[in-house]
Amino acid sequence: MSHPEFRNVAIVAHVDHGKTTLVNAMLEQSGAFGDHGEVADRVMDSGDLEKEKGITILAKNTAIHRKGLGKDGTDLIINVIDTPGHADFGGEVERGLSMVDGVVLLVDAAEGPLPQTRFVLGKALAAKLPVIILVNKTDRPDARIDEVVEESQDLLLELASGLEDPEAAEAAEQLLDLPVLYASGREGKASTENPGNGNAPDSADLQPLFDVIYNVLPEPTATIDAPLQAHVTNLDSSSFLGRLGLVRVHAGTLRKGQQVAWIHYDPEGGEHVKTVKIAELLRTDGVDRVPAEEVIAGDIAAVSGIDEIMIGDTLADVENPVALPRITVDEPAISMTIGVNTSPMAGRGGGDKLTARLVKSRLEQELIGNVSLRVNPTERPDTWEVQGRGEMALSVLVETMRREGFELTVGKPQVVTKTVDGKLNEPYEHTVIDIPSDYQGPVTQLMAGRKGQMLAMDTNPGSNWIRMEYRVPARGLIGFRTTFMTETRGTGIVNSYSDGFDVWAGEIKGRPSGSLVADRSGQVTAYALQQLADRGSFFVEPGAETYEGMVVGANNRDEDMDVNITKEKKLTNMRSATADATVTLSKAHTLSLDEAMEFCGNDECVEVCPDVLRVRKLVLSATERGRARAREKARNK
């Protein structure tokens, strides 16, 4: 029996450069959708949040079957990993790269390499993986294909020269000899010939891409006759089979019903070896998982029957249990506290999961499949510190829990610090900002206030846009995006990636506005909002319930102000023709979760419920807050 040939490849790129659309076209042209009828756009982005945000959050795999295209007429199976393009989900990228033998790097034909392009390419080069550059969206009217290819190759050489491993650096420089592909994922076309700016490739389909993947990327270095070694790289679940472990088979053959050695790592007790049975074995066929009797070395499959299987575990031969290296990821840079809802309105926000036991259980469940997340206990038994790569990664977790029915109290995001040689160090970000030149002054001033150091500034000839690059403490980017979009009237683009740790940059001033805080419980009245209209902007509408310590708006001044938002108009027996004329109020600004987390001050938190979001003070009592401020002033004297 002739075995199929395999190619395991990851599609990596900056966010919104077209990875998932390209994978969609690859699946469609391979007949993966069969008779499914109408196929959803970006089928790989299956999560609700992925569809809403238009980004990939979780690395997912699919298998593209090309009949008779392998050696001697055997079938070719291309296992494709669709990875996130946002640096906040870098753990997913690193996990995805551990499953493949090569990488297709997508670069937008107009935007060129951007910060996350550098991030994902650097990870691929460090893993010594061959990289094929694919210039996508060549049919964009503002495409600049030749310049983008040159920029991508320059980036490749720059990253290669910075690698600590000499062998990896030498291998990276040889990648310049690999072919460059040109594609339009939306049109489902690819070519090795430059189609010219603004044109789709002159080809019928994506066959040139499949040919390059087959001819250029290496076949998995795996031996079918060797003792079994399979690496657990991802987790999933099934309503029928329970927890599923997604494994890359590095050696040997994995069979349904087989007894295998499960090598599990416990941080406290080290490695444990236990004999288990593979209850069910599933292979990926397009977007579906289908039962299989066996999976050979080089392929990727899902196994069931091991309830406590974890990412990084190894399934090995019972007689010769040898573990594969653990999957390692970069350290987290941002943390925040997540706990039960402790506001006076707890239990009234539409949630049904309110207890500390449920919150703790859900966070522990998240640790199983999220390799870049950490959960640490705090002084309070109902609150935990959650650490991740960035604000977006943490906000996605909170939003997911919110949709599952949890009511939570979420603290302001903070940076994760560490001490190096007796000095306090904090994480830094390399930030790239694209703005119209009209906003250069305000943005420069904004970055200066956040301790940003300008590294470069370029102008685009024939365009009114400029690009500025900064090295800025990650602490300075917390709450930055909302202010940035306001300053640039929604036209600016900002991207960043981790730039390591460095010495603490000093105090960074927070948001320019203070909070308007309700000083009592009750219903918001239109009369009170009208009387306070000149104090700032509000987050609540008339009729909304409020409580003491709840933040109801943003103050025009940089100080907090306690306000009576429930004040009613006094009734008298005097009337005039215009006394009860309709009150016109500015529309309240309803905060999204991201906006609420960015607005949140050091002494504030966010009340997250399925039906409502509220910002509140950590200490609700205005009297207690006043005493705390007095004690702080006394200590500073």
SS3 572: coil
Angle between helices 115-126 and 145-161 (to 10 degrees): 50
The answer to the question of whether 19 is labelled as a binding residue is yes
Beta bridge partners of 79: 8, 63
State the Cα–Cα distance between residues 220 and 94, nearest whole angstrom: 18
User: Is residue 546 annotated as involved in ligand binding?
Assistant: no
Residue whose tokens read 């050091």 = 602
586 CB neighbour count, 10 Å cutoff? 9
Say whether 17 counts as a known binding-site residue.
yes
Establish whether 137 is an annotated binding residue. Answer: yes
- What is the number of alpha carbons within 13 Å of residue 504 lying toward its C-beta? 13
Residue type, 514: G
Distance CA 13, CA 52 (A): 19
Q: Are 73 and 4 in contact (CB under 8 A)?
A: no
Q: Per residue in 618-632, is it b (16+ CB within 10 Å) or e — as a string?
A: bebebeebeeeeeee
Annotated ligand binding at 584? The verdict is no
Any bridge partners for residue 303, and if so which? 245, 281
Ligand-binding site membership of 221 (annotated) = no
In angstroms, the CA 615 to CA 126 distance is 42
Rounded distance between C-alpha atoms, residue 128 and residue 169, angstroms: 8
Taking the alpha carbons at both ends of the chain, their separation in whole angstroms is: 85
Q: Is 215 annotated as a binding residue?
A: no
- Ligand-binding annotation for 16, yes or no, is yes
Pairwise CA distance, residues 90 & 74, whole Å: 36
List, in sequence order, every residue forming a beta bridge with 9; answer none if it has no partner.
80, 102
10 Å CB burial of residue 34 (0-12, 13-18, 19+) is: exposed
The packing angle between helices 145-161 and 166-173, to 10°, is 160
- Could you write out the DSSP letters of every residue in 97-152? HTT-SEEEEEEETTT-S-HHHHHHHHHHHHTT--EEEEEE-TT-TT--HHHHHHHH
Annotated binding residues for GTP: 16-21, 136-139
Summarize the annotated binding site as residue ranges.
16-21, 136-139
